[in-house]
Amino acid sequence: MIAVYPGSFDPITLGHIDIIERGCKLFENVIVAVLRNPSKTPLFTVDQRLNQIRDSINHLANVEVVSFDGLAVNYAKMRQAQVLIRGLRVLSDFEKELQMAHTNKTLSSEIETVFLATSNEYSFLSSSVVKEIAIFGGSVDHLVPQHIAIDIYKCYDKTKLV
Ligand code: PNS
């Protein structure tokens, strides 16, 4: 079975990587799909994010990293995937995620959303939290792979690079 894991990944965090690793054990192939979203101003370009993700998952054999436009269910169908993976961290994620899963079901009844519970140690973690810490000069070394922490410090705090 093929699963698509869609998201913004601006940037990918250890929490996302945990979901990808666990998805890889459940599905034959996992396609990590970065949304090309013209309505958002991201920290990293789509191409930077694709490279960051590829450099973070090279220990996994059955993952592909791509970008996509438009509806996630349409992209999943185009790739003959049956599943969308989403991570659930805390109860407050549930409302938005359930609404999205139901919306996707109305758009395409054959695509199932599978929720994976984020590991406890990453239940507080999001790309926004990482950026907020970095903006205020904190260390994100424990939240993202080292090569991404370096990319983030290049944006916010070059003193952390020495
Ligand atoms: O990492 P994010 O920002 O929580 O990911 C959200 C994402 C990209 C999965 C979601 O916004 C999405 O699938 N967008 C594509 C458009 C779409 O399919 N919308 C219908 C579901 S509401």
| DSSP secondary structure code for residue 34 in this structure | E
| Enclosing domain of residue 95 | 2-120
CATH code for the domain in which residue 38 is found:
3.40.50.620
Q: Residue 145 domain-assigned? A: no
Residues 6+ apart with CB under 8 A from 48: 151
- Identify whether the C-beta of residue 85 lies closer than 8 Å to the C-beta of residue 23: yes
Q: Residue 64 domain-assigned? A: yes
Residue 102 falls in the annotated catalytic set: no
Q: Residue 147 domain-assigned? A: no
β-bridge pairing 63-68 and 83-88: unpaired
Please name the helix (run of DSSP H) or strand (run of DSSP E) that holds residue 86, with its range, or none.
Answer: strand 83-88
Please give the number of the atom of ligand 1 that sits closest to the Cα of 99: 22
Residue 89 falls in the annotated catalytic set: yes
Name the domain count of the chain.
Answer: 1
Q: Residue 138 domain-assigned? A: no
Q: How far is the CA of 30 from the centre of ligand 1 (A)?
A: 17
40: tokens are 């958002």
Q: Residue 83 domain-assigned? A: yes
Q: How far is the CA of 1 from the centre of ligand 1 (A)?
A: 21
Q: Residue 26 domain-assigned? A: yes
* Tens-place pLDDT, residues 68-93: 999 999 999 999 999 999 999 988 88
Q: How far is CA 55 from CA 7, 16, 45, 46, 108, in A?
A: 17, 14, 15, 14, 32
Q: Residue 146 domain-assigned? A: no
Residue 133 CB less than 6 A away from ligand 1:
no
Q: List the chain pLDDT tens, one digit each, 162 residues.
A: 999 999 999 999 999 999 999 999 999 999 999 999 888 899 999 999 999 999 999 999 999 999 999 999 999 999 999 999 999 998 888 999 999 999 999 999 999 999 999 999 999 999 999 999 999 999 999 999 999 999 999 999 777 776
pLDDT of 162 reads 64
pTM: 0.96
Read off the amino acid at residue 50.
L
Q: Residue 112 domain-assigned? A: yes
